[in-house]
Amino acid sequence: MPVTKPTEIMLHEANVEVPKETIAELVRKMIVLLGEDPNREGLRKTPERFEKALRFLTSGYNQNLESVLNGATFSVHYDEMVVVKDIEFFSLCEHHLLPFFGKAHVAYLPSKKVLGLSKIARLVNMFARRLQIQERMTSQIADAISEKISPEGVGVIIEARHLCMQMRGVEKQHGQAVTSAMLGSFRHNKQTRDEFLSLVRAQKS
């Protein structure tokens, strides 16, 4: 019996018709529309290379919270803040399909369970490897941790540079976007929030 992938479920629920052409075939047509010759030596294999790269960069659609965490939640009596910072990521802006990239800083205050530390980085990658906007990605990471281990609070800060802003449009190469999501005690307790912010800033001192 064939296994239905998460992406296929999403497309079915959204009532989206999947094109019969491959991504590579569509890219070959795009190259022609741009005024180039797809049979030129340097471009001959570009459509297939592009499809392979794009499928990797959007591989987060084929993952879900359960598969990424893979049972790595542990019942531990620990009530101090857990912080994983400087998690590097690359994503694709859904408005222009251009990259944005930077670092994510993730913290939570445990209640009864903790996450395997590497799983936090994998969680960031899962949401980054989709067509994204930074604001939504920030909230998704925080919501996922909150849903899975019900901590006292979660804080997520993302700092990123967007090539859609650096290469086109306003063309400002040094602009950086910073977004945050604060849940539970990180939103309601200034001391908790300040502790998280000071730990993030400590990397730059």
Q: Based on the residue annotation, tell me whether 95 is a catalytic residue of this protein.
A: yes
Per-residue pLDDT tens digits for 89-122: 999 999 999 999 999 999 999 998 999 999 999 9
Q: Based on the residue annotation, tell me whether 96 is a catalytic residue of this protein.
A: yes
Q: Based on the residue annotation, tell me whether 174 is a catalytic residue of this protein.
A: no
CB 182 within 8 A of CB 193: yes
Given 21, 36, 88, 94, which residue is catalytic? 94
Given 95, 135, 176, 203, which residue is catalytic? 95
Given 96, 152, 159, 166, which residue is catalytic? 96
Q: Based on the residue annotation, tell me whether 162 is a catalytic residue of this protein.
A: yes
Per-residue pLDDT tens digits for 34-81: 999 999 999 999 999 999 999 999 999 999 999 999 888 899 888 899
Instruction: Band the pLDDT of 12: cuts 50, 70, 90.
Output: low
Q: Based on the residue annotation, tell me whether 63 is a catalytic residue of this protein.
A: no
pTM of the prediction? 0.89
Q: Based on the residue annotation, tell me whether 94 is a catalytic residue of this protein.
A: yes
When comparing pLDDT for 201 and 9, which is higher? 201
Given 63, 105, 140, 162, which residue is catalytic? 162
- Domain 72-204 class in CATH: alpha beta
3-state secondary structure string across the chain: CCCCCHHHHHHHHCCCCCCCCCHHHHHHHHHHHCCCCCCCHHHCCHHHHHHHHHHHHCHHHHCCHHHHHCCCEEECCCCCCEEEEEEEEEEEECCCCCEEEEEEEEEEECCCEEECHHHHHHHHHHHHCCEECHHHHHHHHHHHHHHHHCCCEEEEEEEEEEHHHHCCCCCCCCCCEEEEEEEEHHHHCHHHHHHHHHHHHHHHC
Given 105, 134, 140, 195, which residue is catalytic? 134
Q: Based on the residue annotation, tell me whether 134 is a catalytic residue of this protein.
A: yes
Residue 143 predicted with pLDDT over 90? yes
Q: In the chain, where are the structural domains located?
A: 6-57, 72-204
CB 106 within 8 A of CB 84: yes
**CATH level 2 (architecture), domain 6-57:** Orthogonal Bundle (1.10)
